[in-house]
Amino acid sequence: MADVQIDEKLFSERLSHFYAGWKADKRSGDQIFGGVGSILVIMGKAAETQSYSKSSAVHVRVRSASQITSEIKLGARLMLTFVIFQFWLLGYEFPATIFLFTAGAMYVVTTAKKGISS
């Protein structure tokens, strides 16, 4: 795997832009972010397959086919949104990574292999 180089200036500008939009939304009535105090973006493994437990299988049976289809479409749109957001922010897609945005900081949890080396 090639070394990934993140453009620090571009990352900083885009992160500032994201936070500015979040704060502006709070001032204008929380129409986009809904007044949330933190945002958690979880990216799974690239080739992750869905595993179903007994409880989720029972839960799925209770729903109608249209509800399941709607939830699958929503999940796919959210995943695509997260991938696009991550790529926009960093210039790369990092699977198996968690981003937590709070009002005061951004936290990243990832594997040791992808971590920052000093």
Per-residue pLDDT tens digits for 40-98: 888 777 654 555 444 444 444 445 566 666 666 666 676 677 778 888 888 888 888 88
Is residue 10 pLDDT above 90, yes or no? yes
Place of tokens 């695509």: 80
Which tokens is 92 given? 């790369």
Backbone angles phi, psi at 42, to 5 degrees: -115, 125
Write down the pTM of the prediction: 0.65
* CATH architecture, range 8-114: 3-Layer(aba) Sandwich (3.40)
- Asked if residue 102 lies in contact with residue 38, where contact means CB atoms within 8 angstroms, the answer is yes
Place of tokens 């040791």: 112
Place of tokens 């900083």: 12
Give the pLDDT confidence score for residue 60 in this predicted structure: 43
Alpha carbon distance 82, 93 (integer Å): 9
